[in-house]
A and B are shown apart, each in its own frame.
Chain A
């Protein structure tokens, strides 16, 4: 309803009526399960995370160093040429102070989500991650950051092997 419209035409339904079974619905629940093949590029990237390393792919034609790595250059449509180890530092390309979880539920304390341009990769190449050990109000675009890794024995070959990025010390 709005300030102009107090009642829409038709029959209104309220939650109590629905729960009481006054209207008939057919409901269905399912569980979909997938196990995505990581492939050549992402497998190597994930292996690197276990070692506390970030790996990118370089294209000789355009000279770009791509992270996340891919086995093909989308601009030149050719296979990329070699693995390049890049640093685990970078700068904030963009950030958002988020009060919602990924199931859209509310958070009391915000998380700072950021795209971090990785040092050693081409301009604009980065990964999405969290920022930590920082007052959200003090985050700026261009801020220099570094990865905070989980202890080696806890790393699983997942992007969460990096706990977050924090302002560079």
Chain B
């Protein structure tokens, strides 16, 4: 029997298009201070390992490990960076706990992406140099290609994707952490600026900045210290081959496989058993694709968009803003606040179980999923 791992504290700062007053380090410090206060831990004594999810090219700082320790309370302690989404960072924390490296681990992820003046230049460095960079196909073009094929294969209509965008923007209007709330008519979305058709401006999130720190502890440590945590019932991530052209877009395999692994770990049957879902919507069609990859029918997806707050109550990435490596951490944060009943304007009723998923963006087929619960 492997030891249960719990989230015993969360803290965040920012959630604005551009944070002009705080440096990256100061932003991280603010989020970490709040998370440690929430968890009731002293990082200098209680935390055994610190993980920061960060990608050097987004930081503009190679070997970004070196700029991490001080502001997390990790100076002179075991610190590492994981160049991946925040949910993958949580996976590393679970490994640290279960392997006995540490009883308590802090996982930080942030976006200070407004500091990157040419974001496309960084995104382009993720593309294959022989095939993609040479043809000038940037990540939005790849999204347009996938979107086109997805709509064809699944019979998804432009209007349905506009409903995805409208729902996200509307929920964002009630979420203090969302930077891109709006009340939009479907026609405005249908006809927003073309990027790489069928992809339009409103199908992709704008960027936002934030830091999120999540504190995890082993079940036995939490019990000894009388912490009421949120249980991690399952966590998984998968990476597909790097060949974008590998075909088959009806199902996102990284999402399907991550989801199945999480359900197996959790002993659960399907998504209907969760009270809240925070599913990756890095593009409007990706939300539909990800849900379909997790066993929801297209009709089911469209129904979820109409039903209150259970699907992406935060407003998702479309409403909150894309937070690069903090994207998954933001979704987990929302889930933790939801099960605690402190999520704010979009609080769902009686949340006992929540599910979050993330995708690392084009051209990757890398995704992660996590299942959380309280009171069982």
Instruction: Determine how close the nearest CB of chain A comes to the CB of B241; give it in whole angstroms.
Output: 20
The answer to whether the Cβ of A33 comes within 8 Å of any Cβ in the partner chain is yes
The answer to whether the Cβ of B116 comes within 8 Å of any Cβ in the partner chain is yes
Tell me the number of A-to-B contacts counted with CB atoms below 8 Å. 77
Report Cα–Cα, A74/B70, bound state, in Å: 5
Instruction: Determine how close the nearest CB of chain A comes to the CB of B124; give it in whole angstroms.
Output: 7
Chain A count of residues within 8 A CB distance of the other chain? 23
Residues 22-58 of chain A: 1 if any B CB is under 8 Å from the residue's CB, otherwise 0?
0000101011111111111110000000000000000
Report Cα–Cα, A38/B21, bound state, in Å: 8
Chain B count of residues within 8 A CB distance of the other chain? 35
Residues 49-83 of chain A: 1 if any B CB is under 8 Å from the residue's CB, otherwise 0?
00000000000000000000011101111010000
- A30/B24 contact (C-beta < 8 A), A36-B60, A75-B75, A77-B44 known: no
- A30/B21 contact (C-beta < 8 A), A37-B112, A77-B42 known: no
Which chain A residue shows the least CB distance to B117? A33
Report Cα–Cα, A30/B121, bound state, in Å: 7
- A70/B25 contact (C-beta < 8 A), A35-B115, A37-B19 known: yes
> What chain B residues lie within 8 Å of A75 (beta carbons)?
44, 75
The answer to whether the Cβ of B197 comes within 8 Å of any Cβ in the partner chain is no
Query: Which among A28, A30, A32, A40 is the interface contact of B22 at CB below 8 angstroms?
Result: A40
Query: Which among A26, A30, A71, A74 is the interface contact of B26 at CB below 8 angstroms?
Result: A71
Instruction: Determine how close the nearest CB of chain A comes to the CB of B110; give it in whole angstroms.
Output: 12
- A77/B43 contact (C-beta < 8 A), A26-B134, A32-B57, A42-B23 known: yes
The answer to whether the Cβ of B69 comes within 8 Å of any Cβ in the partner chain is yes
Q: List 12 A-B contacts (CB under 8 A).
A: A32-B122, A34-B60, A36-B115, A37-B19, A39-B23, A40-B23, A42-B23, A74-B73, A74-B75, A77-B33, A77-B73, A79-B33
For the complex of A and B, list the 10 residue pairs with the smallest distance between their C-beta atoms, beginning with the closest: A39-B23, A74-B70, A34-B60, A77-B73, A33-B117, A74-B75, A39-B26, A72-B29, A26-B129, A33-B118
